Structure 1
Amino acid sequence: MKIEVVNGNYHYEKRRKKFPDLYARNINFTLEPGEIMAILGPNGAGKTTMLKCITGLLEWKQGETRIDDKALTSIDRKELWKRVGYVPQAHKMVFGFSIEELVVMGRAPYISTLAQPTKKDLEAAHAALDTIGILHLAKKSCNEVSGGELQLALIARTLVSDPEVLILDEPESHLDIQKQIVILQTIKRLSQERGISCIINTHYPNHAFYLADFVLMTAKEKDVVYGKVQDVMTESRMKEFFDIELKKIIYEEDDYLVETMVPRALGTERNLSSCRFNDFQ
């Protein structure tokens, strides 16, 4: 499935009047099956609003989202949510749903109003949980699992409708580094094995390096920049968008490659005179 945005703009009219040249520039991108795009920017840059406009949860002020060259607004909503999976940021549940019940909710496009989930729906939920690797948590309450496990359950909830596109809102936020890696590896595996296109919101440059084919960078009162990761995520542009100096580092070992960016401010100055003296010891 191809998903694209043509001349999309979601900025409020007051901002457009204050910065007419900046906010007249619209969002344009196209994702083919199996491709991943990261929306990268600091907090408060409007990334979540942009995602909601892409999915039709909010309306674009201008422009439109298209699915296979067809305007999203012309597609039946139930059919749309069979093809598009939206994963919001995970928050602890206030109700005592089990993980199994949470995931079965993703079958809503296939279940008639007032009907109960069928055996087929439960089997689909268990298959999705197994794909994500948390089938053993099926009977656990959402309030009993960790934030990372809940985030994985939300991804499983989208998979039960067998989507062709996954759209994820900062799925790795508020998680420890191990859980972040599990989430990222799961998203990448789903894209590679199922040909699912993915759009992921993040404010972690390293995650964009690991996951994405393309990146769309956004920040307050900045023009949107879109393109291939290597072309867009330069040291100078990261300084411009994040207001911090980042150094790009490439690590290679045999067939293993890691590209990362580290804040220069977190480095420590070496005592050069001490280093020179120690060289002769």
Structure 2
Amino acid sequence: MSLLRASNVAFGYEGQELFRSINFQLQKGEIFCIIGPNGCGKSTLLDCLLGNLKPQAGEIFLKDQNIKTLSPKEMARHVAYVPQDHEKSFPYTVMDIILMGRASYTGYFGTPSAEDTLIAEEALRLLGIEKYKMRPYTKLSGGESQLVMMARALAQQTPVIILDEPTSHLDFKHELLILETLVRLVREKELAVIITTHFPNHAFYFENNSIPTRVAMMNQKTFSVLGKPSEVLSEENIKSVYDVNAKVISYEHEDKEFKQIVPLKTLA
């Protein structure tokens, strides 16, 4: 049984269709990458999957339950969310932020239990950010903040984590650190991950590291292509979706083949 399934999902605003006929399934221990140009509806699709928006057509299931039958608390126990941006309004400590991931168990005005604290501390350890535990969240860099958001999601102890462009504001090192962390969490925890990204090479990165990976390319208001990165991230598909001429190159490292996309030129 799939952990999450979308069946013929469609959505639009004020009579304008944004996407239609979205179909996919997410399995345990898999990363599902959604890529496509700006404005194609990637983030809006995530809002539908999270139950924040109601599809105009189609159904979304968590295991065998339609998400429209689940309360926000029940959704929070099935799916965790790492947003692209997070407002840093108050100087909560990092530990406070991570404990917020336990809200569906403690209640929004409840007091975290000793078990909740242990779970939050384990999330800190798994992300390697124990040293930030008592630091004000407002004093962290973009990369550090994103790791804290991932730790908060882990503290929810959900089988599915959804991330919206988690590396969009990060430097080269922190971008790679987020990707390495996702690989490790899927491998060690068998999490199921949905990630939107502007960088097709992220899908190749996961596949290159032997993580079960599928990629969906959003184009013409639907998933125009869906499959394994090595099968669908072709030069022709990159040209069709992004209007970019590119080369897909292969190289060997430590007796293993790796693939990467090298962009060459935009099309007029």
- Per the normalisation by structure 2, the TM-score is 0.91
SS at match of 2:58: strand
Q: What SS does the corresponding residue of 1:56 show, helix, strand or coil? A: coil
Q: CA deviation at 1:221?
A: 5.1
Structure 1 position 214 matched with structure 2 position 214? yes
| 1:140 Cα deviation from its structure 2 partner | 0.8
Shift of 1:68: 1.1
Residue 93 (str. 1) matches residue 94 (str. 2):
no
CA distance in 1, matches of 2:129, 2:85: 16
**CA deviation map 1:240-267 (0-9, x unaligned):** 111111110111133233211111139x
1:127-160 per-position Cα deviation (integer Å, ceiling 9, x unaligned): 1011111011011111211101100100100111
What is residue 229 of structure 2 aligned with on the other side? Answer: 229
Secondary structure (helix, strand or coil) at the match of 1:60 reads: coil
Shift of the 223–258 alpha-carbon distance from structure 1 to 2, 3 Å rule, reads closer
For 1:59-208, list aligned pairs within 5 A. Answer: 59-91=54-86, 93-208=88-203
Q: Does the CA-based 8 Å contact 1:92-1:142 persist in structure 2?
A: no
Residue deviations 1:38-74 (CA, integer Å, cap 9, x gap): 0001222211101111111111111111111221112
Letter matched to residue 184 of structure 2: R
CA contact (8 A) 1:40 1:208 kept: no
Report if the CA contact (8 A) 2:50-2:75 is conserved: no
Q: For 1:5, what is the secondary structure of its paired residue?
A: strand
Letter in 1 for 2:236: S
Q: Identify the residue that residue 253 of structure 1 maps to in structure 2.
A: 253
Q: How many residues align?
A: 260
Distance in 2, matches of 1:223 and 1:166, equals 21
Equivalent residues of 1:103, 1:125 under 8 A apart: yes
Partner of 1:264: 264
Structure-2 change in CA distance of 1:91 and 1:76 (3 Å):
closer
Residues 154-193 of structure 1 deviation map (CA, whole Å, 9 limit, x = unaligned): 0100111211011000111110111011101111111111
Residues 5-64 of structure 1, C-alpha deviation per residue, up to 9 Å, x if partnerless? 001111336334xxxxx95x5000011111110000122221110111111111111111
Q: How far apart in 2 are the matches of 1:237 and 1:223?
A: 12
AA of the residue aligned to 2:254: D
Q: Which runs of 5+ in 2 are unaligned?
A: 208-212
Q: Is the 8 A contact 2:238 2:245 kept in 1?
A: yes
Are residues 228 and 77 of structure 1, via their aligned partners in 2, closer, same or farther at CA, if it must alter by over 3 Å?
A: same
CA distance in 2, matches of 1:12, 1:230: 34
Match status 1:2 vs 2:28: no
Q: Give how far 1:92 is off.
A: 5.1
Amino acid at match of 1:11: G
- Note closer, same or farther for the CA distance 1:98–1:183 as it changes in structure 2 (3 Å cut): same
CA displacement 1:98-117 (0-9 Å, x = unmatched): 11111100000110352222
Whole-Å Cα distance in 2 between the matches of residues 211 and 243 of structure 1? 24
Alpha-carbon distance, 1:222 to partner? 6.3
Higher relative strand content: 2
Match of 2:210 in 1: none
Amino acid corresponding to residue 238 of structure 2 in structure 1: M
What is the RMSD computed on CA atoms of the aligned residues?
1.9
Gaps of 5+ in 1: 17-21, 267-281
